[in-house]
Structure 1
């Protein structure tokens, strides 16, 4: 990355493309450069300001009044551009429009629902791990575990039928690609997106959902008048869009972390209660959601710079999660760390409403694995899956030693 200083205000300026395949393959050098450049950098290629330090990213996430989501959390500005689909009522809305959908979904995904799922998901995870180990001690962790478990339990919890679940991953992949520029990654998903969107839309309708589950609970909220009948399918869609890919990549992240840090796996086996800490530490360390945008509602001062009103601001969540100003030894994956405060799930009123569901899925898998596997390690070359927003693995060949 070549940095120059703006002749008008001295702001660091770069023509780097954070969505290039080179950066998506290994974003860490760019993140360090952006953090060291200052509180804010101007990215001339896309006419956006970038935040990479923890304090500035955190401040922008919690300040929805000056950094709005309603103009889109991607590069596209909904003030001037038509979104490719109806905006999310949670991710792409601000108060007061955001309030009722958020209240409903927070209640639907609350502690009572998760208590009902805990025992069932633990049994499902044990059954899946037993199946994987019965087929051998080497496998691709992405397909065998990271994808298989969420696609097994989460659609059930929402109330989807058994057919077509394979559509959820490519649909989510395109949705997260669409937050970036209209590049080759977006083009790859474009031929199928009409078909996938139609399928997802059908699953969000009352008649497609089981009588019990998250989806039915959302429609029940519409019957009570907590939300409108028009809002209900869009809230179900938010679950199906954001609730699968992110969890898949989060589970991959924690499995990769353990395969790369065998001492930490030994620690988890000795202290199984650390499973949730391990997942959050992996979210901080690997940051499956790398970036999100906001749009300024007024001229905002960040450091010595003033970002004009109506301007896109790119928040590097992953860079903030490894900011040495916030974290000691940030590049280490360490179960002794308190990872709370990481911005991998966002922060403030737009913080991921399904984060506790993702934690329970990851905890179920890790607990089942830790009981059965003494050691886990990489067993061959790994491959990244590139996405404009997500940090993902295409494959993770792993070898395990049964306990």
Structure 2
């Protein structure tokens, strides 16, 4: 870095600020908001010297990168690793780590499997399961909202909808955690996750095979598309695998974020109780406010101008979704949790062609849980300090001790 902290740019272009922020450090994970502010105020594009990557933290630039997949590609990896320079730790995702036209074909299959019409068929069952879960927790009174609700509810409905066997489901959340840790740099979190990955990977690989999936579930439906030639038999298990991580982590962390918000902001909890139809928006606002998925990388396929500066070809660009979702250039009072906010346009599930494939499932489950809470719970209070779960990509809690009183 030169003494001014600015890198040279083409003649006439503004310089790119160099920052010493490490977005994969424990200090950053504990409280990313000062660094988010620093990056947004430094400029539309910054350079993070710790990992030699470009960063975008303002909403406009994050949105622009998401919505130009030809220039900012995913096939070279959506983590720090560049797949043209090193081998992926597992076979690349046909959804997350693919570009058009290959991505277009496989994404079309998942869009049919997880269509709004399919969600409508699942709705009543998901709602009933959420009510039963909340009844059970209200009867208990005090419990931990992360394992007992944010994890327990999705695990009670999603694996069945997918068609997984009952045995071995304890591997699902560690597997999703592993995938998102692996997007980070070669730090302790990534290395430990990959070292421990063998049993989780073995379970997932086996479960994604056609013979292990129950008829009528999402997984069997994906394999059926290999019979019509829309995907190959070899691609089908990889697409089921994409659904395994996409359909669970976003929901677990999203539900955890929503309960955490409602416990901290009693005025918003009162609003939700008064009008349970706000449940879906309350979940959506929690995803904006907490941004369970914090970051994703892209790789430039050409020299590109962004925010008035030029990023060369072959460079990693780190998008800060959490920072974009609290950018005052885009949101009024961005640091407030407001369940009546017009929240459409947030990038908590991504944006563009790579928008989270599990988002419809996550939204249905989030709405189901918050609707049940609004109807059945009188008060939510934190009974001890929450404990953060550290992950290179995901932001959420490992523990959230709460007490529910009946409505």
Q: TM-score range by the shorter chain?
A: over 0.9
Q: Give the counterpart of 1:242 among 239, 246, 253.
A: 246
Q: Give the counterpart of 1:33 among 35, 38, 41.
A: 38
Q: Give the counterpart of 1:364 among 358, 363, 368.
A: 368
1:128-167 alpha-carbon deviations (Å, 9 max, x no partner): 11112222x2111001100000111100000001111110
Q: Tell me what 1:60 maps to.
A: 65
Aligned residue runs from structure 1 range 116-265, under 5 A: 116-135=121-140, 137-265=141-269
Cα-Cα RMSD: 1.3
Q: Give the counterpart of 2:350 among 314, 331, 346.
A: 346
Q: Give the counterpart of 1:45 among 43, 46, 50.
A: 50
Q: Tell me what 2:270 maps to.
A: 266
Deviation at 1:36, TM superposition (A): 0.4
Q: Tell me what 2:113 maps to.
A: 108
CA contact (8 A) 2:379 2:404 kept: yes
**Secondary structure, counterpart of 2:388 in structure 1:** strand
Task: Say whether residues 1:5 and 2:6 are aligned partners.
Answer: yes
Deviation at 1:353, TM superposition (A): 1.9
**Secondary structure, counterpart of 1:98 in structure 2:** helix
Q: Distance in 2 between matches of 1:188 and 1:149?
A: 27
Deviation at 1:191, TM superposition (A): 3.1
Q: Tell me what 1:313 maps to.
A: 317
Deviation at 1:25, TM superposition (A): 1.1
CA contact (8 A) 1:262 1:377 kept: no
Number of residues of Structure 1 aligned to a counterpart in Structure 2? 401
**Secondary structure, counterpart of 2:102 in structure 1:** coil
Aligned residue runs from structure 1 range 273-352, under 5 A: 273-352=277-356
Q: Distance in 1 between matches of 2:254 and 2:62?
A: 21
1:316-357 alpha-carbon deviations (Å, 9 max, x no partner): 000000000000000000012101000011111111122111
Q: Distance in 1 between matches of 2:216 and 2:182?
A: 32
List alignment gaps of at least 5 residues for structure 2.
none
Deviation at 1:190, TM superposition (A): 2.7
Q: Distance in 1 between matches of 2:127 and 2:246?
A: 22
Q: Distance in 2 between matches of 1:298 and 1:139?
A: 52
Deviation at 1:7, TM superposition (A): 5.3
Q: Distance in 2 between matches of 1:248 and 1:125?
A: 13
Normalising by the residue count of structure 1, what TM-score does the alignment of the two structures yield? 0.97
Runs of 4+ in 1 over 3 A off after TM superposition: none
CA contact (8 A) 2:113 2:221 kept: yes
CA contact (8 A) 1:266 1:374 kept: no
List alignment gaps of at least 5 residues for structure 1.
none
Q: Distance in 2 between matches of 1:375 and 1:130?
A: 14
